[in-house]
Chains A and B, each alone.
Chain A
Amino acid sequence: MGSTASTLSKIPDVETLMQETGFTPAHMVRLYDRFKALDKERKGHLCPQDFGAIKELAENPIGDRIVGAFFSQGQETLDFHSFVRILAHFRPVDKDRPRDPNVPEPINSRSNKLKFAFQLYDQDKDGKISRAELLQIIWQVLRAMLEMQVTEEQLESIADRTIQEADLDRDEAISFDEFRKSLEKVNIDHKMSIRFLR
Chain B
Amino acid sequence: MVPRWPAFLPLLFLVSLLCFGRPCLASSSSDTSHGETATSSGHGESGGHGESGGHGESLNITTLPIVSWKWSHVTVPYFVALWILVCWLCKLVFELNHHLTSVFPESGLLILIGFVLGGIIWGADKAQTFTLTPTNFFFYLLPQIILDAGYFMPNRLFFRNLGTILIYAIIGTCWNAAAVGLSLWGCYEGGAMGDLDIGLLQFLLFGSLLAAVDPVAVIAVFEEVHVNEVLFILVFGESLLNDGVTVVLYNVFDAFVSLGGEKIDAAEIVKGIISFFVVAFGGSLVGVVFAILLSLLTRCTKNIQIIEAGFIFVLGYLSYLTAEMLSLSAILSITFCGVCCQKYVNANMDEKSVITVRYAMKVLANGSETMIFVFLGITAIDKTIWVWNTGFILLSLLFIFIYRFIGVFFLTWILNKYRLVPISIIDQVVMSYGGLRGAVAYGLAAMLDESKIKEKNLMISTTLIVVYFTVILQGITMKPLVQWLKVKRVSSSELKLIEKVNNRAFDHVLAAIEDICGRIGDNWWTRGWKKFEEHWISWLLMKPSARKSQDYIFGIFHKLNLEDAANYVTEGERRGSLAFLRTDDKAGVDFKKKFGSEFAEVMPDIMADTSEAGFGIENVPVTSIIHDSVPSVSLNIYEEDMRNTAQDINAHHLLQQHLYRSRKNHRHRYSRSHFGINESENEVQEIFQRTMRSRLESFKSAKMGVTPAKKITKHPKKVREQREHKHMSNGTAVDKSKTHPYGDEDFEFSEGDSASGVSGGSSFPMRVTYSAGAGIENPAFMPEMDTPPPMRNPPWAPGSDVDATVAPSQRAQRQLPWTPSNLRRLAPLRISDRSTDSFVMADVIPPPPEPEDPAQGDGTHM
**Set B496, B514, B557, B831: member contacting A135, Cβ < 8 A:** B831
Of A4-12, A13-21, A97-105, A136-144, the one contacting chain B is A136-144
Q: A51-B516, A66-B513, A124-B848 are in contact. Are A160 and B596 (CB under 8 A)?
A: yes
List chain B residues, Cβ under 8 A from A40: none
B824 touches A151 (CB 8 A): no
List B residues 389-433 near A (Cβ within 8 Å).
418-422
Q: Which of B497, B560, B832 contacts A156 (CB 8 A)?
A: B832
Q: Are B506 and A154 in contact (CB under 8 A)?
A: no
Given A156-B828, A160-B828, A162-B497, A136 and B839 touching (CB < 8 A)? yes
Contact (A126, B851) CB under 8 Å given A131-B827, A151-B747, A151-B749: yes
Q: Is there contact, CB below 8 Å, between A161 and B598?
A: yes
Q: What per-residue 1/0 map shows which CB atoms of B820-862 lie under 8 Å from chain A?
A: 1101110111011011100100011110111110000100100
- Asked if A152 and B516 make an inter-chain contact with CB atoms under 8 angstroms apart, the answer reads no
Cross-chain contact of B517 among A34, A92, A191 (Cβ < 8 A): A34
Is residue B368 contacting chain A, with contact meaning CB distance below 8 A? no
B420 touches A92 (CB 8 A): yes
Residue A62 is within 8 A (CB to CB) of chain B in the complex: yes
In the complex, A47 has a CB within 8 A of chain B:
no
Q: Which residue of B lies closest to A130 (CB)?
A: B852
A157 and B517 contact, CB distance less than 8 A: no
| Contact yes or no, A194 B851, CB < 8 A | no
Q: Chain B residues near A61 (CB, 8 Å)?
A: 508, 843-844
Q: Is the CB of B596 within 8 A of A157?
A: yes
A54 and B516 contacting across the interface, CB-CB below 8 Å: yes
Chain B residues positioned under 8 Å from A151 (CB to CB): 693, 742, 746-747, 749
Q: Which of B524, B829, B849 contacts A136 (CB 8 A)?
A: B849
CB within 8 Å of B: which of A1-55? 30-31, 34, 37-38, 51, 54
Q: Is the CB–CB distance between A146 and B509 below 8 Å?
A: no
- Beta-carbon contact of A62 and B508 below 8 Å: yes
Task: Judge whether A143 and B839 touch: CB under 8 Å.
Answer: yes
User: Once the chains bind, are B553 and A92 in contact (CB under 8 Å)?
Assistant: no
Chain A's closest residue to B511 (CB) is A60
Complex interface: chain A residues within 8 A of B745 (CB): 149
Task: Give a binary string over A142-179; 1 marks a CB under 8 Å from any B CB, 0 the rest.
Answer: 11111111111111111111111110001010100000
- Chain A at the B interface: mostly helix, strand, loop or mixed? helix
Q: Which residue of B lies closest to A134 (CB)?
A: B501
Which residue of chain A lies nearest to B833 when distances are taken between CB atoms in the complex? Answer: A152
Residues of B within 8 A of A87 (CB): 513, 516-517
Q: Provide the residues of chain A in CB contact with B497, threshold 8 Å.
A: 158, 161-162, 165
Q: Which of B511, B516, B821, B857 contacts A164 (CB 8 A)?
A: B821
B residues in contact with A183, CB < 8 Å: 498-499, 502
Contact across chains for A194 and B848 when beta carbons are under 8 A apart: no
Contact A149 B506 (CB under 8 A): no
- Chain B residues touching A, range: 35 or more
Q: Of residues 482 to 526 in B, which have CB atoms within 8 Å of A's CB atoms?
A: 491-492, 494, 496-499, 501-506, 508-519, 521-524
A108 to chain B, nearest CB (A): 12
- Looking at chain A, what size class is its interface with the partner chain? 35 or more
* Residues from chain B with Cβ under 8 Å of A159 in the complex: 828
B848 touches A54 (CB 8 A): no
A61-B508, A90-B513, A132-B850 known; A146 and B839 CB under 8 Å?
no
B548: CB under 8 A from chain A?
yes
A90→B517 CA distance, assembly (Å) = 11
State whether B851 touches A195 (Cβ < 8 A).
no
**Chain A residue with Cβ nearest B522:** A195
Given the known A-B contacts A60-B511, A157-B598, A161-B497, are A132 and B844 also in contact in the complex, defined by CB atoms under 8 Å? Answer: no
By the criterion CB–CB under 8 Å, are A194 and B514 in contact?
yes
**Cβ of B851 and Cβ of A124 under 8 Å apart?**
yes
Q: Distance in Å from the Cβ of A29 to the closest Cβ of chain B? A: 13
Tell me the complex Cα distance, A172–B854, Å: 13
B residues in contact with A120, CB < 8 Å: 505, 509
Determine whether the beta carbon of B557 is less than 8 Å from that of A164.
Answer: no
Task: Decide yes or no whether B13 CB sits under 8 A from chain A.
Answer: no
For A135, give the chain B residue with the smallest CB separation: B832
Name the A residues within 8 Å of B518 (CB-CB).
34, 37-38, 54
Do A152 and B506 touch (CB < 8 A)? no
B residues in contact with A198, CB < 8 Å: 420
Looking across the interface, which residue of chain B has its beta carbon closest to that of A138?
B501
Interface residues of chain B, those whose CB is within 8 Å of chain A, are 418-422, 491-492, 494, 496-499, 501-506, 508-519, 521-524, 531, 534-535, 538, 547-549, 551, 553-554, 557, 560, 592-593, 596-598, 600, 693, 696-697, 741-742, 745-749, 820-821, 823-825, 827-829, 831-832, 834-836, 839, 843-846, 848-852, 857, 860
| Contacts beyond the supplied A150-B746, A150-B749: 16 A-B pairs with Cβ under 8 Å | A34-B516, A64-B845, A117-B506, A133-B849, A135-B828, A136-B849, A144-B508, A152-B746, A155-B832, A160-B828, A164-B592, A170-B820, A185-B494, A193-B421, A194-B521, A194-B523
Q: List 26 A-B contacts (CB under 8 A).
A: A31-B517, A54-B518, A61-B844, A87-B517, A117-B509, A124-B849, A130-B849, A132-B852, A134-B501, A136-B835, A139-B835, A149-B749, A155-B832, A158-B554, A161-B497, A164-B821, A170-B820, A172-B824, A174-B498, A183-B499, A185-B499, A186-B502, A191-B503, A193-B421, A194-B522, A194-B523
Which A residues contact B (CB, under 8 angstroms)? 30-31, 34, 37-38, 51, 54, 56-64, 66, 70, 87, 90, 92, 95, 117, 120-121, 123-124, 126, 130-166, 170, 172, 174, 182-183, 185-187, 189-198
